[in-house]
A and B are shown apart, each in its own frame.
Chain A
Amino acid sequence: MGARTILKLAWRNLGRNLRRTIITVAAISLSLAMLVFSSALGDGFHNEMIHEGVSQSAGHVVVQAEGYQHKPDAEKVVANAPSVMHTLEKLVPTATVVPRIFLQGLLTSPANSVGVQVEGVDAPLEAKVNSFHEKIETGENLKPGDDRGILIGKTLAETLEVGVGDKVVLMAQQKGQIESRLFRVRGIFHTGNGALDGFFAEIPLVAAQKVLGVGDGVDQISLHLHDESRTGAVAAEVRRALAGLPLEILPWQEALPELHQFVVIDNGSLYVIVVIIALIVALGILNTVLMSVLERTHEFGVLLAIGMSPRRLAAMVLTESFLIGLVAVLVGAGLGALMSWPLDVYGIDWSKMMGQGTEIGGVTIKSVIKGDLSFVKMVIFALMAWALTVLSSLYPMYKASKLRPVEAMHQH
């Protein structure tokens, strides 16, 4: 008796208790579909976090002064930044190379004073890599050549009682001395994030360099890649190109360790859920297949009596699970893809649930987050579900193979 006959018998056996077969297939399919959907949702969420985190406060690869990551210091700067940027632009022509300076200071208006985080930026370059400029509610973005402009948050503007066009003074430490500089508010942004709206400001890079007295130095030069997966390779290339300079070159995972850890932990929790679902489904399948074996004990006894070998009987039971698994993963993967498709195309608007500008893992995320359905992951999940179905039938298969004809035929 060949594989074809076993396959035919197994297939027809599945039709004998069609309702049970359908329920089993549905349980596996729905679990797989939910897994595919959760994975697409989680991956989309992580992609968004990485994208936003990388574009807002670092890059896929960052170049900093040696030791800056461990202990940031206003005096640890990338000296001769234009030359380093030029080298990087030539090395990775497809990347956007962005310089930044980070400082802390006191922003003062006639009405009030507030301690703030300030970022010195090249506004046109920033606009290429993040959407911060889209949050400006009144006024406009910083312009090249304007070294007195400042962007402040809505809450900060209210605290300082200033509007677009008003003057504010920024005081910061420069090599142990207090340096102050006058700015004029060009724009007021509203992100929905309390920390950003109340305690953050952007000034032109040149102005920041003057406040800190670092000449053409910057705190960070970041490379923004089109393909995030090339991060490691590009970091290695940059390290080779800048070897010998007192600089540290970090991929985003090292530059933003909190974000990276958040993604790793979140993925880990998804895998824990996967294992729990897998165990529940496996027990369900075990129960179903075992039931179907036990209720056919008499028939199996007859098959053994008329000459079917225990090995073939076991193969038939295994084939039944193999077929259930095959149908279930095809249905489940299809259903999962169908459920994930609108998530990929339209995304989910979380703003009603979480509010605007929610910060997760140190990153302000968008209100609409799209999914990211990975074909490779879907195939892996489907193969896992299939393997699990087949593995769950090993015990019932063993039971069937150990039946003794006379005893089995006495069972009804």
Chain B
Amino acid sequence: MAIVSVHGVTRTYRQGEVDVRALRGVDLDIEKGEFTALMGPSGSGKTTLLNLVGGLDKPTSGEVVVDGKDLSKMKAGELSRMRLSHLGFVFQAYNLIPVLTAYENAEFVLLMRGVPEAERKKRVMAMLDAVGLAGMEKRRPSELSGGQQQRVAVARAIVGEPALVLADEPTANLDSKTGHDLIATMRKLNESHGVTFVFATHDPKVRDQASRVVSLVDGEVAEDSRR
């Protein structure tokens, strides 16, 4: 069953006097439980596609359906509710909330969802343990390494058990070993929790772990291969 269905999606930006066609008619279905890597050179449209699937941006034309809901017809408030309840995000620059501890950052999504405190604590502690951060709950982002911060970001993205996790270049700011460990952790979560992952990445390590690789060139799907 497709958790993501993208049909005839285009996205054109206005950059000064020039129209930039970031996506030129993309059709893509992503099945539940897949570990998908969107690959391609810079400017190929990976991040744009990820943003559309995440409801962070709207297509110029076409349809983006996530978990049965057409995002292109939703208003800002509905989109934020959709992101909160169905999606998890991991960004290149970690993007943790600097005034919150590792525990509080991971807890944040559950807080916004109104999950009771006891349940929150159980899930957050389990998730921090799963990403290898047990004992670091009280540290703020400034007291963590880049790899540790990205693990907190992964914990934050997954703790709410979303239908889909979108990761934009999650290893780009990490050294090779840390990046490798992080991908392995996410792959493990994919297998153990059945979480669907979609990556926008250049990183061969992600490609090596992916169950499916979609290559984008000039805003179009050039290749789509499953393993």
Contacts and interface: CB of A to CB of B under 8 A. Distances in A.
Contacts of A15: 99
Given A16-B98, A303-B97, A305-B83, A405 B111 contact: no
Nearest to B57: A406
B6 interface: no
Interface string A306-321: 1111111000000000
Interface in B57-108: 57, 76-77, 80-81, 83-85, 87-89, 91, 95, 97-100, 108
B99 A406 contact: no
A355 B148 CA distance: 74
A302 B91 contact: yes
A387 B58 CA distance: 38
B16 interface: no
Contacts of A308: 80, 84, 112
A299 interface: yes
B46 interface: no
A392 to B, nearest CB: 23
A309 B80 CA distance: 6
Given A307-B83, A308-B80, A309-B77, A299 B97 contact: yes
A1 interface: yes
Given A306-B108, A312-B112, A12 B83 contact: no
A13 interface: yes
Given A1-B111, A1-B114, A16-B98, A305 B56 contact: yes
A9 interface: yes
B53 interface: no
Given A12-B100, A305-B83, A310 B95 contact: no
A302 B97 CA distance: 9
Interface residues of B, number: 28
A305 B109 contact: no
Given A1-B114, A307-B112, A406 B56 contact: yes
B187 interface: no
A412 B203 CA distance: 24
Nearest to B110: A1
A5 B111 CA distance: 8
Contacts, number: 68
B45 interface: no
Contacts of B54: 305
B156 interface: yes
A157 interface: no
Nearest to B51: A406
Given A15-B99, A299-B97, A311 B112 contact: no
Contacts of A5: 111
A304 interface: yes
Given A5-B111, A16-B98, A16-B99, A307 B57 contact: no
B195 to A, nearest CB: 16
Interface string B25-65: 00000000000000000000000000100101100000000
B77 A307 contact: no
Nearest to A311: B77
A5 B104 CA distance: 10
Contact of B84 (A307, A311, A406): A307
Contacts of A304: 80
Nearest to A304: B80
A16 B140 CA distance: 13
Interface string B108-122: 110111100000000
B81 A309 contact: yes
A312 B81 CA distance: 12
Contact of B80 (A298, A307, A409): A307
B157 to A, nearest CB: 8
Nearest to B156: A306
Nearest to A302: B95
Contact of A310 (B76, B99, B157): B76
Nearest to B78: A309
Interface string A286-310: 0000000000001100111111111
Contacts of B77: 309-311
A307 B77 CA distance: 9
Contacts of A312: 112
Given A1-B114, A305-B83, A310-B76, A9 B99 contact: yes
Nearest to B166: A305
A86 to B, nearest CB: 76
Contact of A307 (B76, B85, B95): B85
A309 B114 CA distance: 13
B215 to A, nearest CB: 23
Contacts of B91: 302, 305, 409
B111 A306 contact: no
Interface string A9-26: 100110110000000000
Given A307-B109, A307-B112, A409-B56, 16 more contacts: A2-B114, A9-B99, A12-B99, A299-B95, A302-B95, A305-B54, A305-B56, A306-B84, A306-B88, A306-B156, A306-B157, A307-B81, A307-B85, A309-B80, A309-B84, A310-B76
13 contacts: A1-B114, A9-B97, A12-B100, A16-B98, A299-B95, A302-B97, A305-B83, A306-B157, A307-B81, A307-B83, A307-B84, A405-B57, A409-B56
Interface of A: 1-2, 5, 9, 12-13, 15-16, 298-299, 302-312, 404-406, 409
| Nearest 5 A/B pairs, CB to CB | A307-B84, A12-B99, A1-B112, A302-B95, A405-B56
